[in-house]
Structure 1
Amino acid sequence: MEELTKMGATVTELRFALDTFYFLISGVLVMWMAAGFAMLEAGLVRSKNTTEILTKNICLYAIACTMFLLVGYNIMYVDNAEGGWLPTLSTFIGTQADGADHALESDFFFQVVFVATAMSIVSGAVAERMKLWAFLIFTVVLTGFIYPVEGFWTWGGGFVSKLGFVDFAGSGIVHMAGAAAAVAGVLLLGARKGKYGPNGQVNPIPGSNLPMATLGTFILWMGWFGFNGGSQLLVSDAENASSVAKIFVNTNSAAALGAISALIVCRILWGKADLTMILNGALAGLVAITADPLSPSLPVAALIGLLAGGLVVFSIVMLDKICFDDPVGAVSVHGVAGLFGLMLVPFSNSDATFSGQLLGAAIIFAWVFSTSFVVWLVLKKTMGIRVSEEEEYLGMDVADCGIDAYPEFVTVKGS
């Protein structure tokens, strides 16, 4: 009997170690998505804005990690009332619960990289005309307070989680939330100079480095296996391991069909294979399947990606027609495809309801958009959020960073 007890304790410890390790490695994959966002955005902006967009991406990651450690995780998960709406406010991440499946610190690490993902979405949408320091101040508020509150309402056991709302890995909680904050910023910021003509015509502003943007997309695609697969939380038994394997395959299929769908739509509409649309098609497929990458069958997951990849092309075109300037298509990829993915969940998951999905999405969007709008507005009225016309013309690298990403293309003064 004593030997059986020891053996049981050893198995429990091994499962704890394995699940903790899996959680940490999944978090590392999601952290690697920060590099993906940085490369994607740097490739889709003009060369004169490259250093600034890279600065924003590394700084937002650092700020997100700091704010979520100080207050964000506590707001989202620690000592909150089940089904409540008002979170507690304290500091740091609490203490390890008895009988936990994994180390508390591994859960924090996995969650903090999700916060940085949400903020990265905002970075691309407001690129090429927003002041660096205004953006970083907003990052403090979003990652420390705005995101954690809606995170408590959903994943933290708050009232939205009781409405029949299901979001497995964050199509709404992470991606649509980031898009909502981006919409508020873009509305107050306005379009880039020269993007739209006086009669509403759209003037394309090509990115500077499509190889870099493509590399960024592949990095994001890879990181998404940690994003969705890690959200299963456990891998130390046959059932959970099989679920993780299915999540990986569904995630990959949705991305692949999203890219193919965007390729076909571009061919039908314009007779060309638009690389930027294909990249966004793959990302839209990933965002859509994130709402529930486990419940759908393999063919259904592929269909979700197929539909999302086509949808994002039309969304990007439509937003351009209403003069909504989003340099990287972030709102379409993460907002439109995120909502689309949420609304498909009830077709394959009986725990979700259409009314619960719609209400949950509306609450997330309303909260993040309204609070973000207020913060952006305060920043606009105080320090300003947009650079001057001259600074925008010369480029954000000169205005905010003083370092050119491609100095060989810059004329040296006095030469």
Structure 2
Amino acid sequence: MLSRFTGLRAACRVLLLALFLCCALTFGGSLHSSFAQVAGDPSGTKTGAAIDATTANGPIFKDQETVDSVRANVPTIATLADGVGHTRVAVNIVFTLLTGFLVMFMQAGFAMVETGFCRAKNAAHVMMTNLMIYPIGVLGFWICGFAIMFGSVGAVGSLGGTPALIGGEFKIGDVGLWGTRGLFLSGNFYDVGVFTLFLFEVVFMSASVIIPTGAMAERWKFNSFIVYGFFASMILYPIYGHQIWGGGWLSQLGHLYHLGHGAVDFAGSGVVHSIGGWTALAGALVLGPRIGKFTNGKANPMPGHDIPMALLGTFILAFGWFGFNPGSTLGMAGAGGMRAAIIAVNTMLASASGAFAALLIWKAMFKKPDPGMAANGMLAGLVAITAPCAYVTSGFAILIGAIAGGLVCWGVIMIEKNGIDDPVGAFSVHGINGIWGVMAVGLFADGTYGDGLNGVSGNVTGLFYGHGGGAQFMAQMISIVVCGAWAFGISTLFFKVQNALTPGGIRSRREDEIAGLDMPEMGAYAYPEFQLRSEVRESALVD
């Protein structure tokens, strides 16, 4: 019996061994076949053929016979070119939209900087002006601001041509003053390229018109601020913007009068920041200083309530600037769009040198580094590099930023010595350094970029590089004078007329300013527990 079971076990072992050998041979053959003839395209060298240019959004082919049939029908040059063109424009639109989103996020940075540099009793009011300037500005720009600024700009090729923008312009002789088409983005302005440009430009507008909210903070009636928001987004900003970016007369100084490429401002040191800075100065002058700011002509410190908030806001602004400046190429594909890499690095370097220079200068003057001045130095460097960022080398970017850091220190001191109250240094950061940035183009543009800009052949060249740099510098100086005259002049007139027509004027009541604007103007405290404790202490002192 035992020998019978032993033989059965031996037979089973032989059977299992044979089965194992068969499986091994079968698997080994399959494995060898797999290595000998690899399926698919793991290296990616065969993926993406001409057919994909025209069938990227088409049906998914489910059998090889259909694939072979389609591939046999090679696309024509025209259909292939259409596919490539569609992809190129899509890349540029995505890039422009994403950088526009970054610029929109700068609103949060402005809000935190301005609120942090102001006193706690006004925090809700300051934050509310920063919040509402965005929706007010968007609506105003949609109504007519965009049409005035870009209603005759011509095609923007990187965004698909935008043929809808080609149209009329109000002119006096050769002087183009404003666009005339595109109110409410209506008619043939209902176009993906136009809407992309609108989104990108509306956030630039918002960055400009928000600047006066800092200079006029802690003493400005909210209702008066609302009227200002519509005026700035519909008239003040777009009319000057048209002169530089919309095909207006300043941009045509080169084409008409042989002054370089005409006024050049790549991303808005003048169009955005100088306009905002000059308007801020006008508003601060019309309102007058805050109660208690000056005693016998001497400025009294009124420190902000939250320096960490202000510094965090500065970082947000610096981050958003990577949309502000590189995004102004309006795309990466073609037309020199990859210059965005140079622009981004120049932006970073100028912000660093601006902050460091301001810190060193302030420490040398007052023995202590000041966090607020370091923050304003970084912002000053960013403002100054915004116009020349596409046209200068990295060394000049650092120089431009460092000079901006010195200018903002000088500006803050000068403004206070002249009895002007600017709680956040808006004019020193944006006005003075906006001027410096526009001037820097005429000085340091190195002649490696800008061919064809404003209809002029050749690259943009500054004074230090010869070859017509003097003409370019002259165009820049003309634009600086026009910008200051327009923004300061028209905004001063606006604020004075508004002040005369508003019952009680545009400034808050004295008792409201002393108590803080949060409850009288907003109906809510930013920090209710803190504010209530403060009122209890003040009542106890009075009693």
TM-score normalised by length of structure 1: 0.95
Partner of 1:213: 310
In 1, Cα distance between equivalents of 2:299 and 2:321: 33
- What does the per-residue CA deviation read over 1:369-399, in whole Å, with 9 as the maximum and x for residues that have no partner? 2221121112211211111111000101022
Partner of 1:104: 194
- What does the per-residue CA deviation read over 1:140-169, in whole Å, with 9 as the maximum and x for residues that have no partner? 111111111111111100111122211111
Q: Secondary structure at the match of 1:256?
A: helix
Partner of 1:348: 444
1:376 maps onto 2:472 in alignment? no
In 1, Cα distance between equivalents of 2:188 and 2:106: 28
Counterpart residue type for residue 43 of structure 1:
G
Partner of 2:9: none
- What does the per-residue CA deviation read over 1:270-304, in whole Å, with 9 as the maximum and x for residues that have no partner? 11010000000000000000011011111111111
In 2, Cα distance between equivalents of 1:2 and 1:161: 42
Q: 1:183 to 1:80 in 2, by over 3 A?
A: farther
2:383 to 287, 298, 306: 287
2:264 to 142, 163, 166: 166
Q: Secondary structure at the match of 1:161?
A: coil
1:327 to 419, 423, 442: 423
Q: Secondary structure at the match of 1:410?
A: helix
In 1, Cα distance between equivalents of 2:461 and 2:238: 24
Q: Secondary structure at the match of 1:385?
A: coil
Partner of 1:189: 287
Q: Is contact 1:83-1:157 (8 Å) kept?
A: no
Q: 1:295 to 1:103 in 2, by over 3 A?
A: same
In 2, Cα distance between equivalents of 1:409 and 1:125: 25
Q: Is contact 1:96-1:103 (8 Å) kept?
A: no
In 2, Cα distance between equivalents of 1:309 and 1:348: 18
1:178 maps onto 2:276 in alignment? yes
1:392 maps onto 2:513 in alignment? yes
Partner of 1:154: 244
Q: Is contact 1:179-1:331 (8 Å) kept?
A: yes
1:362 to 481, 487, 491: 481
Q: Secondary structure at the match of 1:67?
A: helix
Q: What is the root-mean-square deviation in Å for CA atoms of aligned residues?
A: 2.0
1:411 Cα shift? 2.3
In 2, Cα distance between equivalents of 1:84 and 1:158: 5
1:92 maps onto 2:184 in alignment? yes
Partner of 2:349: 253
Q: Is contact 2:119-2:305 (8 Å) kept?
A: yes
2:114 to 31, 41, 48: 41
- What does the per-residue CA deviation read over 1:5-60, in whole Å, with 9 as the maximum and x for residues that have no partner? 32221111111111001110111000000000001011000000000011101111
Q: Is contact 1:191-1:325 (8 Å) kept?
A: yes
1:270 maps onto 2:270 in alignment? no
In 2, Cα distance between equivalents of 1:89 and 1:140: 19
- What does the per-residue CA deviation read over 1:232-276, in whole Å, with 9 as the maximum and x for residues that have no partner? 1120249422x0111000000000110000111011101101000
Counterpart residue type for residue 485 of structure 2:
A
1:86 Cα shift? 4.6
Taking CA–CA contacts closer than 8 Å with sequence separation of 6 or more, which of the two structures ends up with the larger relative contact order? Answer: 1
Q: Is contact 2:444-2:461 (8 Å) kept?
A: no
User: What runs of 5+ residues in structure 2 fail to find an aligned partner?
Assistant: 1-73, 152-166, 254-261, 446-459, 463-471
1:117 Cα shift? 0.5
How many residue pairs align between the two structures?
A: 411
Partner of 1:74: 147
Partner of 1:302: 398
In 2, Cα distance between equivalents of 1:371 and 1:83: 19
Partner of 2:162: none
1:230 maps onto 2:351 in alignment? no
1:348 Cα shift? 2.8
Q: Secondary structure at the match of 1:160?
A: coil
In 2, Cα distance between equivalents of 1:136 and 1:130: 11
In 2, Cα distance between equivalents of 1:186 and 1:89: 34
In 1, Cα distance between equivalents of 2:478 and 2:529: 52
In 1, Cα distance between equivalents of 2:115 and 2:380: 19
Partner of 2:33: none
Q: 1:253 to 1:192 in 2, by over 3 A?
A: same
Runs of 4+ in 1 over 4 A off after TM superposition: 94-98, 412-415
Q: Secondary structure at the match of 1:85?
A: strand
1:2 Cα shift? 3.7
1:145 maps onto 2:235 in alignment? yes
User: What runs of 5+ residues in structure 1 fail to find an aligned partner?
Assistant: none
Q: Secondary structure at the match of 1:244?
A: helix
- What does the per-residue CA deviation read over 1:186-227, in whole Å, with 9 as the maximum and x for residues that have no partner? 1110000111112x1110100000010011000000001101
1:96 Cα shift? 6.1
Q: Secondary structure at the match of 1:84?
A: strand
Q: 1:19 to 1:403 in 2, by over 3 A?
A: same
